[in-house]
């Protein structure tokens, strides 16, 4: 008697089953608990529209670059930012690199839009559409039809995808499993729903990579699926929903090793733990960045309040401009008058003595830390609740 599906012999690890055992997976639960806590922290963090837009742009570029870089795209983060927000066009020989990134960005933006209108319905057709999107307007091999399941065996490195005739069946099972893991849990506490969403996201990524249903673009499609599931949960802020792609790209060799171990040795938990640890690490980075942005906003507000009590003179206005033009960290005094075009205009025709008087005035107000060669804004005044920084100047910490 022959088996109904060839994959049962060739790919026995495609079980669509993952047992949640607390004792055996305590480390995983600890990491997921921290990830949930950090997502809650970020979700409850107030940001000005300008800062939120800036951070969203940064992480959209990072995520799109990461998922394409894993597949060999050689653009830098600066290149991607210039393409997305600066209107830059690469020369014809590199245009395909730009197209790869723009395709992923379009898919990510669609996921974001859907999240504001009830979320993305994860269906087989939707997954096929993601593959069609990531391969749009790119040259592919003759056997590749974007968005269509492969009809020939797909081999990537030493890994062979599932038998083509089983792919439609396996994809139906995958979508049903995702629904089982993510739907009907609204009565559960948020942390339990987060755990389910994270498991569904990483397991679906893993299984789509194992099945390898398309002739090309499987990795990018799998990571978009992962991002959509996290976004659908409503428990992961959009800013963080694609952090895993960045993690996989930063640790690319480990990413491939974990994928291989999951199929060859059945170490599915190892892959999920690896993903969870990277997610936590990047959430920490993200929170630190958000805190720095909040600190800066608080500093600007504080400076304006402080200067409201001072005489409204040309010198006072110039000193405020100087203070708000200073970047974090020490700035050479010799560079002060050229920090910004506005500042250069205000110092035009004035001697270095004017600069010295302005610097000394900021120091006397307690708004800047000055030594013989540098000036630094006293942003530490805003850090009252940051351990180790309260009431100490940057020079005290050096």
Q: Provide the CATH topology of domain 310-397.
A: Arc Repressor Mutant, subunit A (1.10.10)
Q: Locate the domains of the chain by residue range.
A: 19-290, 310-397
pLDDT in tens, 39-98: 999 988 888 888 888 889 999 999 999 999 999 999 999 999 999 998 999 999 999 999
Whether 286 shows a pLDDT value over 70: the answer reads yes
User: Is residue 99 a contact partner of residue 139, using CB atoms and an 8 Å limit?
Assistant: no
Q: Do domains 19-290 and 310-397 have the same CATH topology?
A: no
Q: Please give the positions annotated as active site.
A: 212
3-state secondary structure of 96: helix
Q: Residue 122's pLDDT is what?
A: 97
User: Nearest 5 degrees, angle CA 180-CA 183-CA 184?
Assistant: 110
- How many Å apart are CA 111 and CA 223, to the nearest integer? 12
pLDDT in tens, 144-198: 999 999 999 888 888 899 999 999 999 999 999 999 999 877 788 999 899 999 9
Query: Which CATH number describes the domain made up of 19-290?
Result: 1.10.3290.10
Q: Residue 382's pLDDT is what?
A: 81
3-state secondary structure of 25: coil
Percent of the chain with pLDDT over 90: 78
- How many Å apart are CA 204 and CA 36, to the nearest integer? 19
pLDDT in tens, 243-274: 999 999 999 999 999 999 999 999 999 999 99
For 371, the token pair is: 């030594």
- How many Å apart are CA 70 and CA 108, to the nearest integer? 17
């Amino acid at each position: 008697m022959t088996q109904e599906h060839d994959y049962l012999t060739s790919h026995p690890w495609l079980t669509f089953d993952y047992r949640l055992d607390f004792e055996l997976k305590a480390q995983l639960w600890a990491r997921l608990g921290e990830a949930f806590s950090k997502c809650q922290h970020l979700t409850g963090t107030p940001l000005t529209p300008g800062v939120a837009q800036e951070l969203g742009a940064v992480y959209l570029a990072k995520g799109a670059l990461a998922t394409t870089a894993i597949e060999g795209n050689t653009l830098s983060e600066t290149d991607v930012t210039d393409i997305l927000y600066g209107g830059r066009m690469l020369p014809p020989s590199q245009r395909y690199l730009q197209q790869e990134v723009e395709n992923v960005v379009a898919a990510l933006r669609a996921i974001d839009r859907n999240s504001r209108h009830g979320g993305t319905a994860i269906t087989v057709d939707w997954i096929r559409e993601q593959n069609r999107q990531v391969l749009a307007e790119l040259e592919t091999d003759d056997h590749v039809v974007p968005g269509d399941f492969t009809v020939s065996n797909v081999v990537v490195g030493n890994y062979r995808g599932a038998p083509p005739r089983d792919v439609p069946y396996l994809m139906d099972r995958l979508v049903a499993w995702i629904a089982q893991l993510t739907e009907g849990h609204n009565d559960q506490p948020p942390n339990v729903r987060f755990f389910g969403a994270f498991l569904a996201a990483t397991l679906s990524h893993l299984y789509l990579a194992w099945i390898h249903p398309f002739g090309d673009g499987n990795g990018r499609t799998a990571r978009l699926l992962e991002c959509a599931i996290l976004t659908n949960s409503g428990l992961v802020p959009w800013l963080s929903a694609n952090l895993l792609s960045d993690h996989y790209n930063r640790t690319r060799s480990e990413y491939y090793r974990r994928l291989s171990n999951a199929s060859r040795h059945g170490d599915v938990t190892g892959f999920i733990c690896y993903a969870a640890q990277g997610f936590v690490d990047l959430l920490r980075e993200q929170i630190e960045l958000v805190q720095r942005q909040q600190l800066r906003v608080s500093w600007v507000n504080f400076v304006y309040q402080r200067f409201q009590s001072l005489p409204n003179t040309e010198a006072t206005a110039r000193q405020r401009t100087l203070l708000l033009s200073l970047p974090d960290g020490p700035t050479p005094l010799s560079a002060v008058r050229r920090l910004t075009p506005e500042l250069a205009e205000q110092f035009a025709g004035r001697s270095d003595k004017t600069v010295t008087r302005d610097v000394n005035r900021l120091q006397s107000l307690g708004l800047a830390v000055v030594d013989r060669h540098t000036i630094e804004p006293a942003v530490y005044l805003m850090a009252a609740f940051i351990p180790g920084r309260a009431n100490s100047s940057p020079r005290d910490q050096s």
